[in-house]
Amino acid sequence: MRTLDRARARGPNQRQRRPDHSVWGGLRWTARAARVFVALLLCALSPSVARATPQDLYGLGGRSPGLGMTGVSFVCDWEAVYLNPANLAGTRNRRLAFSANASVYDLHVDHERYPLEAARGTTIGFQLPLPFGDVLEDRLVLGGGFYTPTNVLLRGDVRYADVPQFSVLNRAQSIAIQVGLGFDFHDIIDGLRIGIGISALANVYGDLLVRLDESSAFVSTVETQLLTVFSPIAGATFTQPEWGVGVVYRHEVRAELNLNIVVRDLPVPLPIVTVAGIIQYDPAQLAIEGFWLPDPNVRIIVNATARFWSFYPGAARPTTMNSFLAPAPGYSDTVSPRLAIEGTLHDGSVTAQLRLGYALELSPVPVARMAAERNANGTPHLDAGGDPILTANRSLDHDRHVITAGFGFDHAFSEHQHIIFDLYGQLHAGIDRLHPIYRDMDMNAPLDVGVGMVSGGMIFVGGWTLAAEF
Amino acid sequence: MKKRSTFTFFFAVLGVFASPAAAQPMDTYGMTSRSVAMGGAVSADVEDISANYYNPAGLVRGDHMRIGIGWFGAFHQLDVDGLNSGVDPVHGLTFGLAIPATIDRNFRFAFGLGVHLNDDRLSRTRSLPQSRPRWEFYDNRPHRTYLAAHLAVELFEVIRIGGGISFLSYAANTLSVRGDLDIAMPDIGSHLQHEIRADLTTIRYPQIGVQVQPIPELSFGLVYRGGFALSNVLTAEVDATILSGGIAAPFPGYFYLFSESVNAFVPQQVSLAGSWSPTPQFTLNLEVTWVNWSSYISPVGTSDIRLDLDIPPELADSIFVPTIRGSRPIAANFQDRFVPRVGVEGMAYEDTSMEFRVRGGFFYEASPVPQQTGITNLVDTDRLAFSAGAGLRLTNLRPLIDGFISFDLHLQYALLPYRAMQKTSLVDPTGDYVAGGHIFAGGLSMEVGFR
């Protein structure tokens, strides 16, 4: 596991590389931030654009993202399909929600802006208490959340390993379909709820054959299939009037691409080309959370989310039978500590909530470096002298301080009829990272003299949710 | 009034922004047992979860919150010149929600969700050379997932309107390959690497429906479904150093391939339907659907190929690069069609705790595919589909359920009369042929309704 101490230990180097802290530098940053904020606002308000459902990176819905992506122990609405399906059982009203979010990247490599397309999307969520009677009365609640990008449902971007790339942040462009069912043990063990759910994605498999037809023209025959992959989510909560705890396990979510390309009848024979890789990956996660109400209108939340990135096998697969593979990714498990506070104000039928949150998102990715190329079977590729052949691996990522704020508005028309509006914003302040490799040359860089490739940057996230409860 | 306008605003916003949905095996085989058993002629009176496909306005017709699940399968016996064409069966699960609600005593609305998941795959796209005969409407088009979410509202108690924007995706892949290509031992000796950008890109299409019920015994329906097409686009570049097993020095080579094919085209459709119940125990439904097949896009792929080789003199006699040309599809030239449908439902038994209904239906689809006189071979014939079914509804389930549980089943037989395709050219590589066959389908569904 990565620890906070290790993150702090890397601090001086990163501060050494920080650019321009002068007044003018601050003003330039402020102007840039203002431009980004305006772009973000336009993105979030535009109905015609939507990309990706990065619930792992930024949270799902409108409440949890404003609370430092916490909510495992207490969010009892449709957002619980991702946060913790056990809490679905904590609601008695039906709710239908529409949510829009956008994230804008301001990343850089060697102080040059790294272009990464904004991720924008919309979500439809619902919760549906099942009105059984008798022993099942007020026990079962069904929920769903469907994130649907406007333009790209699923994007896989598997690049050459030597090309600088933000492999974790760029892995967020994906549809998300999540369904959950919660069960309340009231009158058996008051306060206990359990829940299960699934996340669904798709693998893409296909074959392409190019050959000469009877009229001596090259024709292509293509067949592709999308096959469903399901990933389970399971959780439990125990809630008392002034405190509560929750735990949830989310299994890894992965989508793979595998296309076999056969080209015949060319004057030069081509091998069978296999285009394969993992185009979407969320690691398995275990989140534990507790909340405390020191006052009925104040909620304090503490959360720790562990991500098991060490199981990530790397994106690329061998292109031909004996192709060499990029170095092993070497990702490490991470723990993300999160802290949030939510204050509630009441005025007649109106309830307003102010939210603040913080999360430290540690990077699972090792520094970019020269590393051992691999044979198709995964063993190191050795030269004639038995030494590993090194190749550049420029997979980039960095630790992020995530500061969040949110606002909630609830107008109750009656006990069961509400209109709810949530708004949130996130600032992901990345910590610059110095890599022991040059950006343009495949050779090690001496870090002790402060040279090498530097990567880092900010992410701005915003969104809103409008919901009706009835 | 303020509350009503607030909720109206919410649903207007929701309707404008989006609702998810995708693809239609339902176009061919229908959705849920009651609707299929009635020949699909249900747009005027549907109120169960199949309203998500037939007419979203029907979501707000009933008083019950419904949750349904079912299974269906379709098995093809289609042949060309007496040889079985091996068209894959289609089978999968159906799931749906219909959630009507009332706000402010008289504002009625509903939310619906319909899902069909094939057992084998979410979707399949397939392009074939135009000279190879294929059952155009059954070979590949049903192999898709259906996912739809809709909203509906009731106006003036006799008019219901529902709709949503559906979407699915097509694949666009950009591939780049580099490395060493050994032309002496291409599979073993080549060391290539690739990078790829794979996008499943969204396609959106609308669906909107209206139900008008001037008197309880009579109901009318009007539905519009937008059209869409699934595409596969692949752009590939191989920029390699070519090795010749020591015969000559390595030399550069460049290969470019562009392949595009349109698959699973679903044309826009308009259905007009009527439902008449002269007694509470009997219902007669009629429906006609206009299908805009003339906009059909040929599924035959487009391909462009380019090969650049800087061949060294030692190999000039052994490697000859001819003029390479790709292919272009020929227009499908389908024709628009009207599809008439009829369905009946009768109460066979009824008491205080259960109802048992029987159903029957028929529809006729004239083939929109013209005679395949040239090089293309898009095979299709007319389809006459006969269906029957039954439904059992249990209504006395309190205290566990204040509502009902219904079980429905259906069987459907479709006759595809044999059709002769005659070629203009005497040397056509495929030649004349006769095609026809049968399709057998069936399914079960269960629905729980909460009052």
pLDDT in tens, B383-423: 999 999 999 999 989 888 999 999 999 999 999 999 999 99
Identify the domain containing residue A188 by its residue range: 4-469
Q: Under an 8 A CB cutoff, do B127 and A466 touch?
A: no
Q: Which residue of A has its CA nearest to B310?
A: A268
CA angle, residues B31, B75, B132, in degrees to nearest 5: 110
Q: What DSSP character marks residue B295?
A: G
Q: Does A348 touch chain B (CB under 8 A)?
A: no
Contacts of B1-8 with CB under 8 Å at 24 or more apart are B1/B104, B3/A413, B3/A417, B3/B103, B3/B104, B4/B103, B4/B104, B4/B107, B6/A411, B6/A413, B6/A419, B7/A419, B7/A468, B7/A470, B7/B103, B7/B104, B7/B107, B7/B109, B8/B107
pLDDT at A151: 64
Q: Please measure the distance between the N-terminal and C-terminal CA atoms of chain B and give it in whole angstroms.
A: 26
Residues in A touching B194 (Cβ below 8 Å)? 158, 273, 275, 316, 319
CA A427, distance to chain mean position in Å, is 15
Residues in A touching B429 (Cβ below 8 Å)? 214
pLDDT at A326: 87
**pLDDT per residue over A167-183, tens digit each?**
788 765 677 788 999 99
pLDDT at A11: 35
Q: Under an 8 A CB cutoff, do B192 and A468 touch?
A: no
Q: Under an 8 A CB cutoff, do A156 and B196 touch?
A: yes
Q: Under an 8 A CB cutoff, do A220 and B399 touch?
A: no
- Which of A126, A131, A224 has its CB closest to that of B450? A131
- Which of B122, B319, B326 has its CB closest to that of A268? B319
Q: What is the mean pLDDT of chain B?
A: 85
Q: Does A411 touch chain B (CB under 8 A)?
A: yes
Residues in A touching B16 (Cβ below 8 Å)? 47
Q: What b/e sequence results for A290-304 when a residue is b if at least 16 CB atoms lie within 10 Å of its CB, and e otherwise?
A: bbebeeeeebebbbe
pLDDT at B265: 78
**pLDDT per residue over B350-378, tens digit each?**
999 999 999 999 999 999 999 998 888 88
Domain ranges (residues) in chain B:
2-450
pLDDT at B28: 87
DSSP A110-172: TTEEEP-PPEEEEEEEEEEE--B-GGGTTTEEEEEEEEE-SSEEEEEEE--TTS-B-TTGGG-
Q: Which residue of B has its CA nearest to A270?
A: B186
pLDDT at A319: 86
Residues in B touching A316 (Cβ below 8 Å)? 193-195
pLDDT at B263: 66
Instruction: Kindly tell me if the per-residue pLDDT of B424 is higher than 70.
Output: yes
Q: Which residue of B has its CA nearest to A225?
A: B124
pTM (two decimals): 0.79
**pLDDT per residue over A349-381, tens digit each?**
999 999 999 999 999 999 999 999 998 888 899
- Dist CA B357 CA B408 (whole Å): 9
**pLDDT per residue over A287-314, tens digit each?**
999 999 999 999 999 999 999 999 998 8
Instruction: Kindly tell me if the per-residue pLDDT of A257 is higher than 50.
Output: yes
For an interface test with B, the pick among A116, A219, A394 (most B C-beta atoms closer than 10 Å) comes out as: A219
CB contacts < 8 A, A to B, total: 263
- Percent of chain B whose predicted confidence (pLDDT) is above 70: 87
- Dist CA B233 CA B227 (whole Å): 19
Instruction: Kindly tell me if the per-residue pLDDT of A3 is higher than 50.
Output: no
- Which of A144, A273, A277 has its CB closest to that of B192? A273
pLDDT at A441: 85
Token digits for B300?
A: 């035959």
Overall number of domains in chain A: 1
Q: Under an 8 A CB cutoff, do A223 and B16 touch?
A: no
- Which of A259, A271, A467 has its CB closest to that of B187? A271
- Dist CA B341 CA A282 (whole Å): 48
ipTM of this complex prediction, to 2 decimal places: 0.73
**pLDDT per residue over B269-310, tens digit each?**
999 999 999 999 999 999 999 999 998 887 777 778 788 888
Helix H or strand E encompassing A33: helix A23-45
C-beta neighbour count of B40 within 10 angstroms: 32
Cα of B201 to nearest chain A Cα, Å? 4
Q: Under an 8 A CB cutoff, do A320 and B65 touch?
A: no
Specify the length of chain A in residues: 470
Instruction: Kindly tell me if the per-residue pLDDT of B166 is higher than 70.
Output: no
DSSP A309-335: GGG---SB--SSTTPPBPPP-----EE
Which segment of A376-390, B310-324, B372-386 scores lowest on mean pLDDT?
Answer: B310-324
Q: Which pLDDT band, with edges at 50, 70 and 90, does A205 fall under? A: confident
CATH of domain B2-450: 2.40.160
pLDDT at B23: 38
- Which of B20, B124, B179 has its CB closest to that of A146? B20
**pLDDT per residue over A6-63, tens digit each?**
333 333 333 333 334 444 444 444 454 444 444 443 333 333 322 334 788 888 899 9
DSSP A354-398: EEEEEEEE---SPPPEEEE-B-TTSSBPB-TTSPBPEEEE-B---
Q: What is the domain-level CATH number for residue A395?
A: 2.40.160.60
Q: What is the mean pLDDT of chain A?
A: 84
Instruction: Kindly tell me if the per-residue pLDDT of B379 is higher than 70.
Output: yes
Instruction: Kindly tell me if the per-residue pLDDT of B16 is higher than 50.
Output: no
